[in-house]
Chains A and B, each alone.
Chain A
């Protein structure tokens, strides 16, 4: 095995292109488990820690650009108030030690259907900035990034550089079901983001299909019901949150596995969708959550 230490982004891209057998490593909280347990024996590790800019964030063109290597702990502290949905999800990842190393870029690279960043990125309409030496930059909408279980739109010579999302324009919430409150991989999870200016609601479902996904029908239903201007300033009409929950549950394509049955996941998703919508709406009426 070789250990590659690029000191700049350009060097990292060149190494990535020249070494198809290299596995990028950032926090290592997925990669090292696989190496320790001999699940993976790559020809090389491509360490992205020395590329310091990956661990930074900035505001650009009115959007937040979060470097692929920003550890969760810093994400929560430094930009959590601007991306509350993603920050709530980040707070549920592993333990403090894992959050000091783990990154959004690594979560995207691993592309586990249970990865906690995916639902809030989908709900917020985030874009993934990827780049290769030969092909240049591509901006991939989150919903086009996930192709299958642990499969993504990332090409062999590309690296993830950042995720872009607009600072929250309305309340956002994330909810996750697991066996305990810490160190737990999601049985299923759900994220919601209200986009009041567009009279729209964004959603993301985790761990209930081969890929994270949006609940498109539920989004359309809510947008339709709430289309009128006054509706956004009033309490939620009766039964709306329940109906929304049902549609979210229906959007999932869960399986039975050791963590839960498909039926349980659908039910839990409906409950989480109803609750997160209710919380988000309360935030909105209370004028909190950046509405």
Chain B
């Protein structure tokens, strides 16, 4: 089947999509957008997190046909041209990235958290990131990065 939707601001059509395929597969294997990662395909790890109509979701659990006519934003769509999003910058600066597999999902989820709550408490950060697993960092530097991004965001406003 053909699926037409908006991805990172541009309207795209993809052909020959299998009806049982996930949005994650379409993004990675058919559209050349490998930012969202495939680690568990069962909603447990959050590494495939993308925005669907403004809400962060696990792309592995969205059927491709369900995005027809809708809007998807992936980690590739966060940077402004060559300029990284402040959340991305903070992850780099804090050393919140080791193997990097969890990073795109954490970045999108953090981006969504700060859009909703620019100055989150630690408890709110932990709650927001509860569905994103990292096997490398031990999370401390990820929390640092979220706090740094938040402080810059609130500082700038």
Residues of A bordering B, CB below 8 Å:
1-3, 5, 25, 27-29, 31-33, 35-37, 41, 44-45, 47, 49-50, 71, 73, 94-98, 100-101, 181-183
Q: A47-B63, A183-B131 are in contact. Are A29 and B19 (CB under 8 A)?
A: no
**A98 partner residues in chain B, CB cutoff 8 A:** 43, 58, 61, 131
**B109 partner residues in chain A, CB cutoff 8 A:** 96-97
Q: Is B1 part of the contact surface with A, judged by Cβ < 8 Å?
A: yes
Could you write out 22 A-B pairs with CB less than 8 Å apart? Answer: A25-B66, A28-B61, A28-B62, A28-B63, A33-B43, A33-B61, A35-B20, A36-B22, A36-B60, A41-B20, A47-B63, A73-B55, A95-B132, A96-B130, A97-B43, A97-B56, A98-B43, A100-B52, A100-B57, A101-B57, A183-B44, A183-B131
Instruction: Name A32's contact: one of B60, B68, B128, B132 (CB within 8 Å).
Output: B60
- Kindly supply a per-residue 1/0 record for chain B positions 28-59, scoring 1 wherever the CB is within 8 Å of any chain A CB and 0 otherwise: 00000000000001111010010010011110
- Kindly supply a per-residue 1/0 record for chain B positions 118-144, scoring 1 wherever the CB is within 8 Å of any chain A CB and 0 otherwise: 000000000110111000000000000
**B62 partner residues in chain A, CB cutoff 8 A:** 28, 32, 101
Kindly state the separation between the CA atoms of A81 and B66 in the bound complex, as whole angstroms. Answer: 30
Closest Cβ–Cβ distance, residue A43 to chain B (whole Å): 10
**A33 partner residues in chain B, CB cutoff 8 A:** 41-43, 61
What residue of chain B has the Cβ atom nearest to residue A29's Cβ?
B61
Whether B61 contacts A95 by the Cβ 8 Å rule is no
Q: A28-B66, A33-B61, A36-B41 are in contact. Are A2 and B56 (CB under 8 A)?
A: no
Closest Cβ–Cβ distance, residue B38 to chain A (whole Å): 10
Instruction: Name A47's contact: one of B41, B52, B65, B128 (CB within 8 Å).
Output: B65
Kindly state the separation between the CA atoms of A2 and B61 in the bound complex, as whole angstroms. Answer: 17
Whether B63 contacts A3 by the Cβ 8 Å rule is yes
Kindly state the separation between the CA atoms of A245 and B41 in the bound complex, as whole angstroms. Answer: 39
Top-5 shortest CB links A-B: A95-B131, A182-B130, A1-B19, A3-B65, A3-B19
**A183 partner residues in chain B, CB cutoff 8 A:** 44, 130-131
**B57 partner residues in chain A, CB cutoff 8 A:** 97, 100-101
Closest Cβ–Cβ distance, residue B43 to chain A (whole Å): 6
**B55 partner residues in chain A, CB cutoff 8 A:** 71, 73, 100
Tell me which of A2, A50, A96, A98 has the highest count of chain B C-beta atoms within 10 A of its own C-beta: A96
Kindly state the separation between the CA atoms of A29 and B131 in the bound complex, as whole angstroms. Answer: 13
**B43 partner residues in chain A, CB cutoff 8 A:** 29, 32-33, 94-95, 97-98
Q: A45-B65, A96-B130 are in contact. Are A1 and B58 (CB under 8 A)?
A: no
Kindly state the separation between the CA atoms of A94 and B133 in the bound complex, as whole angstroms. Answer: 13
**B1 partner residues in chain A, CB cutoff 8 A:** 3
Kindly state the separation between the CA atoms of A21 and B127 in the bound complex, as whole angstroms. Answer: 39
Q: Which of B59-84 contact A (CB under 8 A)?
A: 60-63, 65-66, 68
- Not counting A33-B41, A98-B131, A183-B131, a sample of 6 additional A-B residue pairs whose C-beta atoms are within 8 angstroms of each other reads A1-B19, A45-B19, A45-B20, A95-B46, A95-B131, A97-B46
